[in-house]
Amino acid sequence: MQVVINGEKTELASGISVRDLVEQLGIQGKVAIEVNREIVPRSRFDSHELKEGDRIEVVHAIGGG
């Protein structure tokens, strides 16, 4: 299936969850995932299944002072 991740068209396997995507992309640390302009709570990463045409934004938290 085709989705858009941070503005880039990307092919993913069907039935992939947000958690699967995070692992596939090798994302570590604190991250927020937005799907179609809605934040997916970390507690729903396993159950939120991505669908054809979803627009996904991955935002990394960066600390500073």
pLDDT of 63 above 70: no
Name the band, by pLDDT with cuts 50, 70 and 90, for residue 64: low
What's the rounded Cα separation, in Å, for the pair 26 and 44? Answer: 18
The CATH topology of domain 2-60 is Ubiquitin-like (UB roll) (3.10.20)
pLDDT of 6 above 60: yes
Q: What's the mean pLDDT when you consider all of the chain?
A: 93
Place of tokens 């729903």: 44
pTM here? 0.87
| Domain range annotation of the chain | 2-60
- Cβ-contact 3, 56 below 8 angstroms: yes
- Cβ-contact 31, 59 below 8 angstroms: yes
